[in-house]
Structure 1
Amino acid sequence: MPIHRPEYFEHGVYHIYNRGVAKMPTFLCTDDYRDFQDILRYLLIGFLTQKDAILPLPINNSNLPVTYKADPLSNGLFRPLLDLIAYCLMPNHFHLLIQIKVPIAEIKQDGRRIASFWSVSEFMRRLCITYSHKFNRRSKREGVVFQGRFKIKHIPKDSDVLQVSRYIHMNPVIAGLVTKPEQWLFSDYHAYILPQDLPSHSVTNTDLLLSFFNRSSQRYKEFVDGVISEQEGKIVGKYIVDQDQEQA
């Protein structure tokens, strides 16, 4: 099957999705979810100290085959390249809403470019490989964790970005795991509705979505809780990624 590589735009917003191989669970326990969240934070923001992590001392943990110490250059590597707008981790898949700041990044040495990479592709490669190693170690298994390449769709309209963010935050409710999105602990919905309770180093950049609601968390919550019209459902349907949208 040919790979459909989307065009990457500066300031473009993209819905990214991946699921477990053969639809198997990718998160078996709370520690798995927290590991993934910590890796997001490590790549997108960076850890200043171990106590900044979601769980105590995840860095340099000697019982993990891939440690943050083993890849020190990734600490905050994507901070100038990408913004995480929204995410939700589900038992057998995950959703990310990413805004690109720099589509193609360069690595320079002595003023010379020695390498370049697509920001999104490299971010997803490091995210999925690091998590897979940690997941396999904890669950005492071998082999791939995710089903092939990640899936991605560009969302060109701001109004559509809002609809997809609501879909992502409502995913646990749609799946019947909780009755309210704020009851699900493994998304960044709380960054939007309870920003005062979050540390300043939150991995999510809420500026884009809240700008549509005059920075009001309550108005965003009302939007997410609101009834989705048939037309809004059709809009979301355009950006639900599947096996036909793949990225190397």
Structure 2
Amino acid sequence: MARKVRTWFQGAKYHVTSRGIRKSPLFFEDEDYQKYLNLLEDTRDRYPFILHTYCLMTNHTHLQLETLETPLSIIMKNLNTKYAKYINKKYDFTGHVFEKRYGAELLNSAEYEIDVSKYIHLNPVAAGMAAAPEDYPWSSYRAYVADDGEEIPLINTQTLLAYFPHPPQQHYKHYMKTIITDKSFWKDGKIYIMDREGQPCGQR
């Protein structure tokens, strides 16, 4: 069966997900998370793109990125192949590390870009892994809300923060807190947020 043709054009923005095969962990210790981020930076240096948000969960990853001159397929092949080799070598594993290919959804509006950033940054809260998004160390959230100008070198916050009034960091933080305290987003004691395909976020 032929693979589905993926839409790509210069400047395309995506929500990209990669999952461990059979829901297996992708990360076993802090060093693994950091290695993934290092490889992400190496990939960006080789195939430039703009990374708007990210969150690394136990068995899957979320990237919100914008392509420049390189198709997404090349970017993700480079990243996932190198990380799979790292994991297999370090833990003496064999076979596939990632489940099938990555998933990618084209973001076609500013409103949806903001929604996806919310979806990504609230994943640890939805999964019960953190009480608040700023408590989770492996996401880009703190770069968006830091009053002291804390920066994460990988992340470009300007695009999303430009959609919020001044001061944007405070408005973004307030936006996220409003979502967290809104009872309509809670189900069975956890935050319940739907993506465009009707799937809940926060799956470990």
In the alignment, structure 2 segments of 5+ residues that lack a partner are 186-190
Q: Secondary structure at the match of 2:149?
A: helix
2:188 is matched with which residue? none
Contact residue 20 and residue 145 of structure 1 kept, 8 A: yes
* 1:142 alignment partner AA: T
Q: Does 1:227 align with 2:179?
A: yes
* 1:197 alignment partner AA: E
Contact residue 86 and residue 97 of structure 1 kept, 8 A: yes
* 1:218 alignment partner AA: Q
The range that moved more, 15-24 or 135-144, is: 135-144
* 1:198 alignment partner AA: E
Q: Does 1:204 align with 2:173?
A: no
Structure 2 matches for 1:67-82, cutoff 5 A?
A: 76-79=45-48, 82=49
2: CA distance between counterparts of 1:136 and 1:27? 12
* 1:33 alignment partner AA: Y
User: What's the CA shift for 1:136?
Assistant: 1.5
* 1:13 alignment partner AA: K
Q: Which aligned runs of 4 or more in structure 1 are off by greater than 3 angstroms?
A: 228-231, 233-236, 239-242
TM-score (normalised: structure 2): 0.84
User: What's the CA shift for 1:78?
Assistant: 1.9
User: What's the CA shift for 1:143?
Assistant: 1.5
* 1:25 alignment partner AA: P
Contact residue 17 and residue 60 of structure 2 kept, 8 A: yes
Q: CA-atom RMSD, angstroms?
A: 2.5
Q: Secondary structure at the match of 1:205?
A: coil
Q: Paired residue for 2:121, among 161, 164, 169?
A: 169
Contact residue 119 and residue 195 of structure 2 kept, 8 A: no
User: What's the CA shift for 1:210?
Assistant: 0.6
Structure 2 matches for 1:117-136, cutoff 5 A?
A: 119-136=71-88
2: CA distance between counterparts of 1:234 and 1:144? 31
Residue-by-residue CA offset, 1:98-126 (whole Å, 9 max, x unaligned): 11223xx4xxxxxxxxxxxxx21111001
1:53 is matched with which residue? none
Structure 2 matches for 1:1-248, cutoff 5 A?
A: 1-44=1-44, 76-79=45-48, 82-102=49-69, 105=70, 119-194=71-146, 196-198=149-151, 202-214=153-165, 216-227=168-179, 236-238=194-196
Contact residue 126 and residue 192 of structure 2 kept, 8 A: no
Residue-by-residue CA offset, 1:33-54 (whole Å, 9 max, x unaligned): 000011111221xxxxxxxxxx
User: What's the CA shift for 1:149?
Assistant: 0.5
Change (3 A) 1:205 1:153: same
Change (3 A) 1:235 1:12: farther
Change (3 A) 1:134 1:162: same
State, as a whole percentage, how many aligned pairs show the same letter.
29
1:67 is matched with which residue? none
Q: Which has the larger radius of gyration?
A: 1
* 2:162 alignment partner AA: S
* 1:225 alignment partner AA: K
Change (3 A) 1:139 1:234: closer
Q: How many residues align?
A: 191
